[in-house]
C-alpha cells in the first residue's frame, strides 16, 4: 500500500498527468526506461502491487494468467513469450488505471525509470509496464 492517503495520491497523480499533458503540448516527449539496478522497484522485494503477484479481476495473479496463456505453446525462446506477458499486463492496466497512474508518478520521481531487480532475461515485468507507460502516456 502507499504511505499516502488515497486522496493525496489522487491529487499527486492528477498533478502529474496535467504536467505531462502540458509538456506534451510543447512537443516534449517523456520516455520511460526499465533497469535491473536503478529506478522504482516493482519486484516482489519492492512494491509488489505491480509484481507478478498482482491480482486481476478474475482472481488470478499475473503470473498465473501468464502461465495459463503459454502452457499450450511449444518450448520457445524466452523472447517469444514476451507478447503474452505484455497482454496480461495490459489487461491488468485496464483493470487498475489508478495504480498505473500512481506508477507513472513514481517513475517520474525516479528519473523515469522502473526496475525489476529480480528479473531474469528478457521476461521483465518492468519492461512490460514501461512499454505500457510509453504507449499510453
- Assess whether pLDDT exceeds 80 at residue 8: no
Instruction: List Cβ neighbours of 49 (8 Å cut-off, separation of 6 or more).
Output: 1, 99
β-bridge mates for residue 46, sequence order: none
β-bridge mates for residue 33, sequence order: 113
Taking the CA atoms of 48, 82, 67 and 90 in sequence, report the sign of the dihedral they define: positive
**pTM score of the predicted model:** 0.77
What pLDDT digit, counting tens, does each position of 119-131 carry?
878 888 999 999 9
What pLDDT digit, counting tens, does each position of 21-47 carry?
555 555 455 688 888 888 999 988 899
* Angstrom distance (rounded) from CA 86 to CA 66: 9
Tell me what percent of the residues of the chain surpass a pLDDT of 70: 78
Amino acid at each position: 500500500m502507499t504511505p499516502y492517503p488515497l486522496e493525496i495520491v489522487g491529487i499527486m497523480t492528477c498533478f502529474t498527468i496535467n504536467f505531462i499533458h502540458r509538456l506534451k503540448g510543447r512537443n516534449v516527449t517523456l520516455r520511460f526506461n526499465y533497469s535491473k539496478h536503478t529506478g522504482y522497484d516493482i519486484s516482489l522485494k519492492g512494491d509488489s502491487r505491480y509484481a507478478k503477484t498482482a491480482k486481476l479481476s478474475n482472481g488470478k495473479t499475473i503470473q498465473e494468467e501468464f502461465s495459463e496463456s503459454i502452457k499450450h505453446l511449444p518450448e520457445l525462446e524466452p523472447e517469444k513469450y514476451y507478447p503474452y506477458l505484455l497482454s496480461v499486463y495490459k489487461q491488468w492496466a485496464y483493470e487498475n488505471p489508478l495504480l498505473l497512474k500512481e506508477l507513472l508518478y513514481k517513475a517520474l520521481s525516479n528519473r523515469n525509470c522502473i526496475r525489476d531487480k529480480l528479473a531474469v532475461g528478457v521476461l521483465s515485468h518492468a519492461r512490460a509496464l514501461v512499454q505500457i507507460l510509453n504507449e499510453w502516456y
